[in-house]
Amino acid sequence: MSTAMNFSTKSFKARPPDKGAFPLDHFGECAAFKEQFLECLRQSGSESSACRPRAMAYLQCRMERRVQLMANEPLEKLGFKDLIDEEPEAKPEKL
């Protein structure tokens, strides 16, 4: 007389990310921006706050590319409002 007791009756339902997919940059369109960001991380001892301008430039590159590497989002919503407010006329350098 064995009774199977299953306490984990809740089932897990997977759901897609809120912002959708973040596809890989297969053609390397933003590789130069990525390398600049990674180099900054190496030089700063992985202190990401020191590399935020490079991170912003990388994300801008992804949003501007024709192969839709990333959906267009205002940079303020991505956490770069303070960088935009500091230098309103400065734009990330183009490669």
Would you give per-residue pLDDT tens digits along the chain (95 residues)?
Answer: 555 665 666 677 777 666 656 678 888 899 999 999 999 999 999 999 999 999 999 999 988 886 677 888 888 988 898 888 765 455 555 55
Please give the pLDDT value at position 85. Answer: 77
Please give the pLDDT value at position 16. Answer: 63
Please give the pLDDT value at position 34. Answer: 93
Cα(22)–Cα(32) distance, integer angstroms: 18
Cα(46)–Cα(38) distance, integer angstroms: 9
Residue 41 CB-half CA count within 13 A: 11
pTM for the whole structure: 0.66
Please give the pLDDT value at position 12. Answer: 73
